[in-house]
Homo-oligomer: A and B are copies of this chain.
Amino acid sequence: MSGSDRTAEKISWVDRDMPVMRALRERFRAETPLAGRRLSVNVHLLPSTVPLLSALRDAGADLVVCGSNPMSTDSDVAGWLGDHGMTVLAPGLDDLDGDRERLLAALDHHPHVIVDEADGLLGLLYAEREELVPTILGASVHTLTGVRRLHRFADQGHLRFPVIGIDGSPIKQLFDNEMGTAQSTLDAITRLTHPLFYGLRAVVAGFGACGRGIAKALAHRGADVIVTEVDPVRALWAVTSGFRVMPADDAAEVGELFITATGNINIFNGSHFARMKDGVTLVNAGHGNGEIDVATLADTASDSRTVLPLVTEYRDGRGRRRFLLAEGYPVNTAGSSGHPPGLMDISFAAQALGVEHLVKNASRMSNTVHQLPQEVQQHIARAKLAALEVSIDRQDLEQRQYDDQLSFAPR
């Protein structure tokens, strides 16, 4: 089988598990709701991304696609997309100098709609291409880190078009974040390091949807899981879920595997590295490459080397080894093939329908961050259930009315 045949098979395999996207693409092809619209898309370039991009293109959009980070770019996929007529900006495919250059090039497409992994495109837009803002209908933002920032940006009165936050809605949080991150993170750690999870003392920083999924998955595999948090409600949730919760300084002393899933920075830093035992593994399953303070790790190391693919050993002055995975980038997209396609089917349907919603309704939407409408979320869930051959009940009239009025009698 030739390399390009292998890539085609890989993409076709993924497509099997994405029935909602298949149906959506078919409708988009028939209705071309994005006809005449320019889209700039910032996204992980993995096999499961192809059905999203194909659906957007078949909907009539004029697309430029940018790989969201070098570690999450499958060059076979990027090549295949280029071969199939899409403009793809990705390491190895172009001679643009770096991430910033590629994002700027994507903006130079003069998009009507921006699809952003987090806030890379949008940040650069407002910082360096503000002249493009007036012609932008809206943007769709995939991750919670991006959504949180856009909320602040909107609160400060800066946002000048509507944004749909894909993250923050149940249709993404429950599936992609909690389940997808759990499966792909542990998959990647297993491939890269082959640990014995049973009995392992694991520390998970952050008990949001991603951290929760990871913590539960580790507990199910027999690990002794410790959670660190800054939010007391989530910390209490972790405690009452059976996890030990403690400050990161204390967790640093007992942990063997450390995983971040916070969307913030310096979660494990010099203060913690100094307390860690010999032989610990450091993993980011959150956002960007700043959750683990890699610079300090490198600066304080007497020695570093690659011991296995994507596994770097840093040895500190006392000879204690720390194994950093994927240079601190999210391990799930770097060290495995990302979330299972069967889940991305849901998230990418949300993404594609979010773009369609913007194109159809942007003029009537306020310049704030909007959740994907409830009925769109329900539509996706209904389509996925149908593909899984699951039927559910519907409320009858009396039941629908039941919540519509106050009762007179105690129940």
Please report A residues at the B interface, Cβ cutoff 8 Å. 1, 9-10, 12-14, 16-17, 42, 68-69, 99-100, 103, 117-120, 122-124, 126-128, 145, 148-150, 152-153, 170-171, 174-175, 179, 183, 187, 190-191, 193-199, 217, 219-225, 228-233, 235-237, 239-248, 250, 263-266, 279, 287-290, 306-308, 336-337, 340-343, 346, 377-378, 381-382, 384-385, 388, 390-396, 398-399, 402-411
**Within the assembled complex, what's the spacing in Å between the Cα atoms of A266 and B393?**
13
A sample of 21 inter-chain contacts (CB < 8 A) reads A69-B411, A103-B410, A127-B406, A127-B408, A149-B403, A149-B406, A150-B406, A153-B406, A174-B240, A183-B197, A187-B191, A194-B337, A195-B342, A198-B342, A199-B242, A228-B393, A232-B378, A239-B388, A247-B392, A266-B396, A290-B411
Known: A145-B403, A229-B392, A230-B395. A222 touches B240 (CB 8 A): yes
Residue of B nearest to A123 (CB): B406
Q: Please, which residues of chain B bring their CB within 8 A of the CB of A199?
A: 236, 239-242, 388
Closest chain-B Cβ to A280's Cβ sits at a distance in Å of 12
Residue of B nearest to A99 (CB): B410
**Within the assembled complex, what's the spacing in Å between the Cα atoms of A314 and B403?**
29
Q: Please, which residues of chain B bring their CB within 8 A of the CB of A340?
A: 194-197
Known: A179-B240, A230-B392, A408-B127. A266 touches B399 (CB 8 A): yes
Q: Please, which residues of chain B bring their CB within 8 A of the CB of A99?
A: 409-410
Q: Please, which residues of chain B bring their CB within 8 A of the CB of A233?
A: 170-171, 174, 377-378, 381
Decide if A236 touches B120 in the complex (CB within 8 Å): no
Known: A126-B406, A240-B222. A398 touches B265 (CB 8 A): yes
**Within the assembled complex, what's the spacing in Å between the Cα atoms of A357 and B31?**
52
Decide if A399 touches B264 in the complex (CB within 8 Å): yes
Copies of this chain in its oligomeric complex:
4
Decide if B179 touches A222 in the complex (CB within 8 Å): yes
Decide if B393 touches A248 in the complex (CB within 8 Å): yes
**Within the assembled complex, what's the spacing in Å between the Cα atoms of A405 and B14?**
36
**Within the assembled complex, what's the spacing in Å between the Cα atoms of A183 and B193?**
13
Known: A183-B190, A221-B220, A409-B100. A235 touches B149 (CB 8 A): no
Known: A199-B240, A220-B221, A241-B198. A13 touches B307 (CB 8 A): yes
